Structure 1
Amino acid sequence: MEDKGMWPLALQALQALSSHYVPVIQQTAAQLKLPEWCTGILLPALSFDPEPVTAEKMRKRGAYTAESLYSQRLSEAARQELLQETEHGAGEYRLTARGRQAAESILQAANECMSRLQPLPEEELEQLAALLKRLVEACLQASSPPGKWCIELACRLNTGISPHLLVRIDHYLSDLSAYRDDAHLAAWQPHGCSGQAWEAFTLLWRGEARTLDELFSKLERRGFSREEYRQALDDLIQRGWLQAEGEQYVLTPRGEQIRQAAEEQTDAYFHAPWDCLSENELEALGSLLTACGKS
């Protein structure tokens, strides 16, 4: 099996695992009387620890979300005594004792959920964990580009070696997902467009939206206004990547070429470290991921 066909299988396995523990995370947050958005602040804050978390750092990791939304949520978490501003102020925060306890309780609940799952025999889980670990290590050691911002941050949440194989597997899959983000950022950011413009461009390229209203409906959660997305589309038109046809936006041939090239560059960056595995090991990994994705 070629390594290029492996990422969809890995993503399917990660989604299968998360379908079990995401409801547990939500339930635990509700029991702690935390707002729904709070885990998206507490867990990143825990991964940055002992360094402070800022809206700028969160925007670097989540390039498609407005920095103002991160600022708002960090400030609200501080009002709820989950975070506290550092002595430097200026939007720098650290977890409070209450915030750390909440974050660790959420992670513990997710890990306990996974420890009860058995999608594969123990021996096969051990093999899957070992192969994924080698891949993550190869990604961390790969030459640049891409950078390592996303994967290194993801790895920081994996404090120590869990005794539960499925927890480790989930961590490794999450690390690979983060490296995929590193690869994609390295592929499109040299074009110099904004994150909101690139995400809108991608949705149009995939055929998931055609008008500004459709885009805004899908992306409103990112914290940008409808007008900001209109300005992003205007920028893409000026670049020659889009053209307006009435209320619809259509990629130009140049736009199709740019977006397809970015996807191919993402694949090239992402898959470069996979040569750490032999052909037989890739075949085994594909089979194991397929079985895990059906759990």
Structure 2
Amino acid sequence: MLELNHSIYDLTQNLQGAIFRGAYTTLGDDAPPFLSQKYPLMQVRAGYAESCAWLMVQVAEFDPEPLTIERFRVRAVYSSENIARAMLELLMSEGWLNRIDDEYTFTDAGRAVMQEAVEWRISVLKDFVPIDTSEIERLDALQSRVLDASMQAGDPPGTWCLAHSRNRVIEDAPVMYRLLHHATDFNAFRDDSHMATYREHDIDGHTWEALAFVAD
């Protein structure tokens, strides 16, 4: 049985990577250039929680509410407060974010960049049909049911991460795009479950992780 720990994170990340690589490769010479070539800022600290690209995603998940360092670190409990703030300030200097006190929101330019990113992903995935269409649609429907049920979860574990992740759902997006976002949502609910384990003991995430390493 798959547990809500690093195993589901590995599964969702590997699934997303395999699907997207397959879709992109299938396009051959028609594949659109990666947005990081157009916006080099998106490459800064790529792969880390405190990266420009991931912080833009986090602003989108809170939109229209502002993102703060405190809200970001509710889920990204192991992230560096100083690095996250530096990345947000860098995005602000690029003209993509506004800041009032410690609250960050999109500028029109930043919102346009995120919309361009969505459209880029859709362009890669819209015609990708790796298995029979009826099976893809059935998988989409089943995963949607699981996620809808997860949104009704009590506390613990709560649905703080999942609710914000689903704030970026595009209902009329191509089915393969929706499947990739389902994987993102499952990972968010995994984080809700992860957070619930150490909140129960009234300790912070860093302490819990240290104890986990000692136990291993």
Asked if the contact 1:25/1:106 (under 8 Å) is kept, the reply is no
Moved more, 111-120 or 124-133: 111-120
Query: Which residue of the partner structure matches residue 152 of structure 2?
Result: 141
Between 1:111-120 and 1:90-99, the stretch displaced more is: 111-120
Q: What is the DSSP-based 3-state SS (H/G/I as helix, E as strand, rest coil) of the residue aligned with 2:40?
A: coil
Residues 25 and 157 of structure 1: is their aligned pair in 2 closer, same or farther, counting only changes over 3 Å?
farther
Q: Secondary structure at 1:154's aligned position in 2?
A: helix
Instruction: Tell me, in whole angstroms, the C-alpha distance in 1 between the residues paired with 2:137 and 2:89.
Output: 42
Letter matched to residue 201 of structure 2: H
Question: Alpha carbons of 1:143 and 1:195: their partners in 2 closer, same or farther (altered >3 Å)?
Answer: closer
Structure 1 residue 192 and structure 2 residue 191: aligned? no
Q: State how far apart, in whole Å, the 2-side matches of 1:137 and 1:25 are.
A: 33
Q: Distance in 1 between matches of 2:172 and 2:152?
A: 20
> Could you say which residue in structure 2 is the equivalent of 1:28?
35
Aligned to 1:165: 175
From 88, 94, 97, the equivalent of 2:105 is 94
CA distance in 2, matches of 1:157, 1:26: 23
TM-score where L is the length of structure 2: 0.81
Once the 2 structures are TM-superposed, how far is the Cα of residue 62 of structure 1 from its aligned partner?
1.0
Residues 75/15 of structure 1: CA separation in 2 closer, same or farther (3 Å cut): same
Q: How does 1:53-132 map to 2 (within 5 A)?
A: 53-85=67-99, 89-132=100-143
**1:238 corresponding residue in structure 2:** none
* 1:55/1:74 contact within 8 Å kept: no
Q: Structure 1 residue 185: deviation in Å?
A: 0.5
Deviation at 1:146, TM superposition (A): 0.8
Sort the Cα spacing of 1:199 and 1:134 in 2 relative to 1 into closer, same or farther, 3 A.
same
Measure the CA separation in 2 of the matches of 1:137 and 1:28.
32
Cα distance in 2 for partners of 1:181, 1:43 equals 16
Letter in 1 for 2:77: A
Cα separation, 1, equivalents of 2:211 and 2:33: 31
Using a 3 Å threshold, how does the CA distance of structure 1 residues 19 and 28 change in structure 2: closer, same or farther? farther
Do the aligned partners of residues 194 and 5 (structure 1) sit closer, same or farther apart at CA in structure 2, a change above 3 Å counting?
A: closer
Mark the CA change 1:93 to 1:13 in structure 2 (over 3 Å): closer, same or farther. closer
CA contact (8 A) 1:71 1:91 kept: no
Q: Specify the SS of the correspondent of 1:141.
A: coil
- Larger of the two Rg values belongs to structure: 1
How many angstroms does 1:26 deviate by? 9.3
**Alignment RMSD (CA, Å):** 2.6
**Deviation >4 Å, runs of 4+:** 6-11, 22-26
Note the alpha carbon deviations across 1:257-285, whole angstroms, 9 max, x for none: xxxxxxxxxxxxxxxxxxxxxxxxxxxxx
| Offset of residue 45 of structure 1 | 0.8
- CA contact under 8 A between 2:8 and 2:190: conserved in structure 1? no
Indicate the SS of the match to 2:41.
Answer: coil
Instruction: Report the TM-score when normalising by structure 1.
Output: 0.61
Unaligned runs of 5+ in 1: 205-250, 257-295
Q: Does 1:48 align with 2:62?
A: yes
Displacement of 1:14 in angstroms is 4.8
